[in-house]
Amino acid sequence: MHNSRAWSFAGRSRAALWRRLTYEPVLFVLRQPAYVVLLLLAAPALLHLPRSLPWPPKSARCWAGYVAVVALGYWFGTTSWTAFNPLPVSRRRLIVFLAPLALLAGLALARLWQRQRPRTVLLLALVCVALPLALAWHGSMRAEHPMRALERRVLGHYLGSVERPTVVFTDRHHVFALPFYFGGELPAGVQVRDWAISLPHHGAPGTDTLVYVQGLEVEILQKNWGDVPPACVVEPPADWQLLAEQAIPSRMRGRFLRVYRIP
């Protein structure tokens, strides 16, 4: 099953697999400054792991060993016994390192404090507080991802201000995601429904009935979770009115964002 998912390395080039097994994870971690800070603070405990020194204590060595084993498993492990298929590089994969690295960083700061270096500890603590805040501010100032910007623009055009009640049928991911394109709450008069539950052949009188198809998400849901879209979404009926069609900016070419109106 893992070999058929959208993120699978099955069928991809050897160059892509080589990048994943060599430098790609390192570059990815370096792009996550918050984890880089934790790694630097936890480095004393991690580097002392193979040495028979009184510090770090045995409990810290256990967590350092955990970090090392999980990192090796994530980096070189496989999700399948039938083909070598490593996990994709993703931010959520780093969550398992958050707690042990924070613990080891705390032990390292405590060690510095015990060595009568409170100024160093206070300076590091200040950096640990100021840097994430600065990164959060910087992240809020960065340009939006092109695909999300496209969705926001198209959705804003057709749903931002509706003249009559509007019902939008879409995939289950966008049922929950669409409100966030409008600050967390859908515009007045707009409802979103899962097309897997119900998708009418004709719109209700006095209601604008739209179908929102984000081709890339539809494909991912189908490959990863087996969510097969309704046949009329794959092959729209002739009486459906195509309101918008935009190519999705993605490495996976040939995917389109479409908005239909059901008469």
Please tell me whether residues 17 and 127 are part of one structural domain. yes
Same domain, 243 and 124: no
141, 159, 185 - which closes a domain: 141
Check whether residue 178 and residue 234 sit in a common domain. yes
Is the domain of 59 the same as that of 107? Answer: yes
Helical residues (DSSP H) of the chain, grouped into ranges = 14-21, 24-30, 33-47, 58-76, 95-114, 118-141, 146-159, 172-177, 215-225, 231-234
10 with 48, same domain: the answer is: yes
Same structural domain, 132 and 156: no
**Structure confidence at residue 209 as a pLDDT band (50, 70, 90):** very high
d(CA 181, CA 167): 16
Whether residue 126 sits in one domain with residue 78? yes
Is a pLDDT exceeding 70 seen at residue 246? Answer: yes
Q: Which two tokens stand for residue 95?
A: 């969550």
Q: 223 or 4, which is more confident?
A: 223
More confident residue, 12 or 195: 195
My answer on whether 6 and 134 are in the same domain is yes
Bridge partners of 261?
A: 210, 241
Pair 232, 136 in one domain:
no
The pLDDT score that the predictor gives to residue 45 is 73
Per-residue pLDDT of 17-45, as tens digits, reads 888 888 888 888 887 877 887 888 787 77
Mean pLDDT, the chain, rounded, equals 79
Do residues 36 and 97 share a domain? yes
121-173 pLDDT, tens per residue? 676 666 666 666 666 665 554 556 778 888 889 999 999 888 899 999 999 88
Q: What is the largest CA-CA distance in the chain?
A: 78
Which residue range forms the structural domain that includes residue 66? 2-141
pLDDT digits (tens, 9 = 90+) for 61-100: 788 888 888 888 888 888 777 777 887 787 888 888 888 8
The total number of structural domains in the chain stands at 2
Q: Are 253 and 126 within one domain?
A: no
Q: Do 55 and 129 fall within a single domain?
A: yes
User: pLDDT tens digits, residue range 113-133?
Assistant: 776 666 666 766 666 666 666
Q: Which of 79, 107, 141 is the last residue of a domain?
A: 141
Q: Considering 141, 166, 195, which residue would you say is the last residue of a domain?
A: 141
